Structure 1
Amino acid sequence: MTHRSLRLLAIAIPLMLLLVAAMVLWRDPYSVIRADFARQRMAAGLSRESVRVDDHLWVYAYSDDAPRGAPTVVMLHGFTGSKENWYPVAQRLRGRYRLLVPDLPGWGESQRIGGRDYGFAAQAERVDHFIKQVAADPRGVVLLGHSMGGGIAAVTAARHPREVARVGLIDAAGVRFADNRFGEQVLAGKNPFAVEDEASLQRYLDTVFHDARARPWAPWPASRIYINQRRGDAQFEQQVLARIGRSDESFLPGKAAAAIRQPALLLWCRQDAVIDPSALELYARQIPQASRVLLDGCGHMSLVEQPEKVAQAIETLIERGRTQ
């Protein structure tokens, strides 16, 4: 092959790769974000699996890299969130415990079925079935929930104590916390988390993060792809928010929490602008045996802003009184 042919080949191959990438992006724009999620998952040392539980297909990340007999930890994400929110914490717990990090039905990669109820009670029953089918730990699991996932975890732990040995509620929804802008907007029928353009995306990030250094960086075209995805989810988000934030089910987790007898953890951030830290004490009245952790310098996304301290609190919950 001549030098001229080699030079042409060196030009043609990158052009062909760019063309293929452009075609993939055109046919499936969200593949860019999925690829980054896969990178994050692998960096955390997690694998990916799917399973059908009743009528929903669940997608979850997991790690079985743990000592024999290690507890199983199940992590539930919050409203508009996904399993990826837990990866920084999961990375710090991997190797000590068996980890299951699902996308809740209706969210992320898991199946969404039109007309179904995705409120606290319905999701708690689905989580119970997921635990029975996938976790299969006769001692019960350590169930952790963030934000909306915290409310779901509280209901699950209260109603299914045989499946849940310990529970951790992190910045959890489900109680009537002190008024703040987020709560007022929810009660007024709005979705404070709605993302429709670059400005509302920035407002969303400003609301959930206190530490600017922890905020995810999403350059174009990822930011535009994410915005389009959230615009497509707007109706679903409002339906769920109406159920968990404005219905007779809004405070179900706080009421159900009175039945939680298991060892428990309540963890908040002092600067949480979504679920005001006053919620910690409201939950503590219902779960007096719970240990309480109030972090400083973080907002609603403690999982990402201070994952080391969150992981340490979870380890304390798991190891407290545990026999080998």
Structure 2
Amino acid sequence: MYSTFLKSALILRMDFEMVNIFVIAGGTLAIPILAFIASFYLWPAALIQVYHWYWRRRLRMQVDYAEYEGYRFCYSHRGSPGARPSVLMLHGFSAHKDMWLAVVKFLPKNVHLVCVDMPGHEGTSRTSAVDYSIEGQVRRINQFVKRIRLNRKPFHLIGTSMGGNVAGVYAARHPSDLCGVTLICPAGLQYPTESTFVQRLRELEKTQDADGIPLIPSTPDEMEQMLKLCSYVRFKIPRQILQGLVEVRIPNNDFYRECFMELVGEKSRHSLHENMHLITVPLQVIWGENDQVLDVSGASVLAEAVPGCQVHLLDNCGHTVVMERPRKSAQLIMDFIVAQQNASNSTKKLS
């Protein structure tokens, strides 16, 4: 009888321990789930930052800082210079280096990649309007290139929107630094057809409404409208995430307005158009056919001005090409880099 009681007690204890294990395991799983739910509803901005951190870590993009005469650049990078040219990526207005993560995911791991925060954006120094003009940004990016010694051998430069304007003018100013340049929906041209965004700017110019700039939202509804303007693909984004996106941007809106006014000023508005005839390095242009921010007609302007320019127009794609079509963008970029490298090697053999 005693042995039977002992066996029953032992079985009961084992069952109790199993219940404890399931409770502990359930609690362990519940903690991150509850944290996610809490972040989603209470701190959506923090959730977005964690998302970027996760993807940087997963793609092995390391964040670093470089200083040039007291000016600090923040950038992420992966790999080291090798057989392929290094690649420097310049983001667009009010974005940051992490916007390239979707494209980085599809680029070969053996290619040296560098994504820098543009002047005044994210972790790079915020100074004065002189640095936010296109000429000012070109000067700062050249300082960054020198500081990290990226130009020890020619590298490939990529820029989108505002960054495309900067990349194009950089190619005109510093051709010896580059082996090629890719411009994605670049700003700074005189477009044969006006986009929806440019038409809206003309209306704002008449009313002098500096608070109504579509690319500087301050509410979730304005954020949603901006995303619809920039993207052809209609993403279903929860309101909490829209709120988080706005919360991240609002502290920077005064800077964005200052920067934007500098970009649309007389000195910067058509910078790329005024310098495109000076581009001598191989040029690739990628544009979304449904771009409502900067009209796709700008692609033909570059094609006519720069001999040998390769143009790729993506259907069912808007202004945010690198986010809407990251795989295709990565493929086009690498095909162009490889083709230029092969052509360069063939020329060397013949000589």
- TM-score, length-scaled by structure 2: 0.80
Equivalence map 1:205-224=2 (5 Å): 205-212=227-234, 215=235, 217=237, 220=240, 222-224=241-243
Q: Does the CA contact (< 8 Å) of 1:72 and 1:137 recur in 2?
A: no
1:195 aligns with 2:217: yes
Q: Does the CA contact (< 8 Å) of 1:77 and 1:85 recur in 2?
A: yes
Q: Secondary structure at the match of 2:57?
A: helix
Q: Does the CA contact (< 8 Å) of 2:85 and 2:111 recur in 1?
A: yes
Q: Partners of 2:131 and 2:220 in 1: how far apart?
A: 30
Q: Secondary structure at the match of 1:52?
A: strand
Q: Partners of 1:246 and 1:85 in 2: how far apart?
A: 26
Q: Secondary structure at the match of 2:105?
A: helix
2:280 to 237, 261, 267: 261
1:243 to 259, 262, 277: 262
Higher mean C-alpha deviation, range 236-245 or range 290-299: 236-245
Q: Which runs of 5+ in 1 are unaligned?
A: none
1:280 aligns with 2:292: no
2:79 to 64, 86, 98: 64
Question: 1:185 is aligned with what amino acid?
Answer: R
1:162 to 173, 176, 179: 176
Question: 1:276 is aligned with what amino acid?
Answer: D
Gap change, CA 1:138 and 1:196, over 3 Å in 2: same
Aligned residue for 2:10? none
Q: Secondary structure at the match of 2:311?
A: strand
1:12-63 deviation digits (Å, cap 9, x = unpaired) = 99999999999x99xx985433211111222333222121233332221111
Aligned residue for 2:160? 146
Aligned residue for 1:172? 186
Q: Does the CA contact (< 8 Å) of 1:45 and 1:94 recur in 2?
A: no
Q: Partners of 2:80 and 2:238 in 1: how far apart?
A: 31
Q: Secondary structure at the match of 2:100?
A: helix
Q: Does the CA contact (< 8 Å) of 2:76 and 2:114 recur in 1?
A: yes
1:121 to 123, 127, 135: 135
Q: Secondary structure at the match of 1:194?
A: coil
Q: In the TM superposition, what is the alpha-carbon distance from 1:71 to its structure 2 partner? A: 0.8
Higher mean C-alpha deviation, range 240-249 or range 302-311: 240-249
Q: In the TM superposition, what is the alpha-carbon distance from 1:81 to its structure 2 partner? A: 1.4
Q: Secondary structure at the match of 1:309?
A: helix
Q: Secondary structure at the match of 2:175?
A: coil
Q: Partners of 2:151 and 2:128 in 1: how far apart?
A: 32
Q: Partners of 2:66 and 2:93 in 1: how far apart?
A: 22
Question: 1:254 is aligned with what amino acid?
Answer: H
Q: In the TM superposition, what is the alpha-carbon distance from 1:245 to its structure 2 partner? A: 1.8
1:317 to 316, 324, 336: 336
1:118-150 deviation digits (Å, cap 9, x = unpaired) = 121100111111112224343211000000000
Q: Does the CA contact (< 8 Å) of 2:91 and 2:163 recur in 1?
A: yes
Gap change, CA 1:57 and 1:216, over 3 Å in 2: farther
Aligned length: 319
Q: In the TM superposition, what is the alpha-carbon distance from 1:83 to its structure 2 partner? A: 1.3
1:73-111 deviation digits (Å, cap 9, x = unpaired) = 000000121112211211211324210011112112322
Q: Does the CA contact (< 8 Å) of 1:63 and 1:94 recur in 2?
A: no
Question: 1:168 is aligned with what amino acid?
Answer: T
Q: Partners of 2:326 and 2:67 in 1: how far apart?
A: 30
Question: 1:191 is aligned with what amino acid?
Answer: I
Q: Could you say what the CA RMSD is over the residues aligned between the two structures, in angstroms?
A: 3.2
Q: In the TM superposition, what is the alpha-carbon distance from 1:166 to its structure 2 partner? A: 0.8
Higher mean C-alpha deviation, range 263-272 or range 45-54: 45-54
1:35 to 18, 30, 50: 50
Question: 1:159 is aligned with what amino acid?
Answer: R
Q: In the TM superposition, what is the alpha-carbon distance from 1:69 to its structure 2 partner? A: 2.6
Q: Partners of 2:180 and 2:304 in 1: how far apart?
A: 18
Q: Secondary structure at the match of 1:310?
A: helix
Q: Secondary structure at the match of 1:143?
A: strand
Q: Does the CA contact (< 8 Å) of 1:105 and 1:111 recur in 2?
A: yes
Q: Partners of 2:299 and 2:34 in 1: how far apart?
A: 52
Q: Percent identity at matched positions?
A: 23
Larger CA Rg, structure 1 vs 2: 2
Question: 1:174 is aligned with what amino acid?
Answer: G
Q: Secondary structure at the match of 1:95?
A: coil
Q: In the TM superposition, what is the alpha-carbon distance from 1:70 to its structure 2 partner? A: 2.2
Question: 1:231 is aligned with what amino acid?
Answer: I
Q: Partners of 2:301 and 2:70 in 1: how far apart?
A: 35
Aligned residue for 2:123? 109
Q: Does the CA contact (< 8 Å) of 2:91 and 2:118 recur in 1?
A: yes
Q: Partners of 2:29 and 2:230 in 1: how far apart?
A: 40
